[in-house]
Structure formats: C-alpha cells, structure tokens
C-alpha cells in the first residue's frame, strides 16, 4: 500500500513538472505576456471541455446494470419460510432479489400502475443474473395466475408448503400481535377457523 502511494506521488510530481516546463516554454515564446498565456489557457480549457461533453452525450452508458422484470416468483405460502428462502437465494452472486413484497399481481391498485412501474420496483442486475420477487399473497389470489401468464408465460414459480394447521396458527398469531400493536381487535381463532356451530373448517378463512 505504501509503495503504491509513493508511485502515485511520483507520477503526480512528474506531471506537474511537465506542465510547468510547458508553461515556461510558452511564456518564453510570447515574451512573458501573461494576458496572452491566460487567453490561450482558457481557450484550450473550453475546447477540451466542450469536446468531452459532446463525446459523453453521444456515447451510451457503459454501466450494464438495469432494472429487469423478474424471472421467478416466490408465491407462498405465508408463514412458510418464504423470507428465509429469499434471503438464502439472494446470497448467490447470480441472483438479485426484490427486498419487499410488491403485490403487483394480486392488487388492482398496484397492477394498474403498469409493467414499467413493476420493473422499477426490481433491483439493478447485470445481464445473465436472475431477478426474483416474493409476494406470498399471490398463492391465495384468484386473479394472479392469468396476470403472471400474460406478463411471462415462462415465469418460474416457487412455492413452499407447510403443515396447514401449524401454518394457520402461526399466521393468525402474527396478525393478532400486529393488530394488538395498532390497538385493533382480532376475533377468537376458533370462531373464524371453523364454520358456525360446526367442527368443519372454514376454507374461506384467511388470517
């Protein structure tokens, strides 16, 4: 590291010396006329700057990173370990993961924003990297499948399943504590998980 700094310092010193020699040479040719020297320097500076600006505006950005639509979706299920899976997959250098649940396909409000809006919610990625988005609510949404197919019929879908009883209780518990923190009430689990006056499961119940 110290050797690199010394080399850099010597290089800078050499460039400064060259510039000083050129200034002295020009000064001797112009007979020490400082105004002419200043005018030449300003003219050179403007020409070089304008030329650099024109070149930079003509050339496209060399950064290959772009926001790209996802190649795969983690669609659920809630409380099934989707976040842990996303974090684990994101460790791979060829995978870029959207860090929040976008809810693009299951909510009309976000879906109406359009595909370009959806793209802007994705992380930057290099060509060849895969982009993944996670929204567990997609699994229980009846409008999601057709919308996903319309966007990309080759979309990869990733689904984690869990013991349904344990998963439901875990989901209910999380929602319960979230509502308690917001001073909202939550019905008793048995009253919503089963049909009224019955031991049959209420299949429409979703915590």
| Chain centre distance of CA 90 | 12
- pLDDT tens series, the chain, 207 aa: 566 665 666 666 666 677 556 665 555 655 555 555 455 444 444 444 444 455 455 555 678 899 999 999 999 999 999 999 999 999 999 999 999 999 999 999 999 999 999 999 999 999 999 999 999 999 999 999 999 999 999 999 999 999 999 998 999 998 888 888 888 888 888 888 899 988 898 888 776
Question: Where do you find CATH 3.40.50.300 in the chain?
Answer: 66-159
Element (H, E) at 73: strand 72-76
Residue 206 tokens read as: 């979703």
- Distance between CA 51 and CA 102 in Å, rounded? 44
Class of domain 66-159: alpha beta
**pTM for the predicted model, two decimal places:** 0.65
Strands annotated E in the chain: 66-67, 72-76, 95-97, 124-125, 130-134, 156-159
User: Is the distance from CB of 27 to CB of 37 less than 8 angstroms?
Assistant: yes
User: Is the distance from CB of 117 to CB of 151 less than 8 angstroms?
Assistant: no
Specify the residue for token string 């080759």: 154
Q: Where are the alpha helices (DSSP H) in 30-143?
A: 34-58, 82-90, 108-111, 115-120
């Amino acid at each position: 590291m110290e050797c690199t700094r010394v080399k850099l310092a010597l290089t800078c010193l050499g460039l400064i010396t060259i510039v000083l020699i050129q200034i002295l040479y020009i000064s001797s040719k112009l007979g020490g006329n400082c105004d002419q020297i200043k005018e030449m320097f300003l003219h050179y500076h403007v020409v070089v700057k304008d030329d650099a600006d024109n070149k930079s505006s003509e050339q496209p950005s060399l950064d290959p990173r772009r926001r790209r639509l996802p190649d795969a979706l983690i669609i659920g299920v809630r409380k099934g370990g989707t976040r842990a899976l996303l974090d684990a997959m994101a460790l791979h250098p060829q995978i870029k993961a959207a860090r929040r649940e976008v809810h693009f396909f299951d909510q009309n409000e976000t879906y109406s924003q359009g595909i370009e809006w959806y793209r802007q919610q994705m992380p930057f990625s290099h060509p060849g990297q895969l982009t993944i988005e996670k929204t567990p609510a997609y699994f229980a949404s009846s409008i999601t499948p057709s919308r996903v197919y319309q966007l990309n019929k080759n979309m990869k879908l990733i689904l984690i399943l869990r013991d349904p009883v344990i998963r439901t209780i875990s989901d209910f518990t999380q929602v319960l504590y979230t509502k308690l923190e917001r001073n909202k009430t939550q019905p008793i689990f048995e009253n919503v998980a089963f049909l009224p006056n019955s031991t049959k499961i209420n299949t429409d119940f979703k915590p």
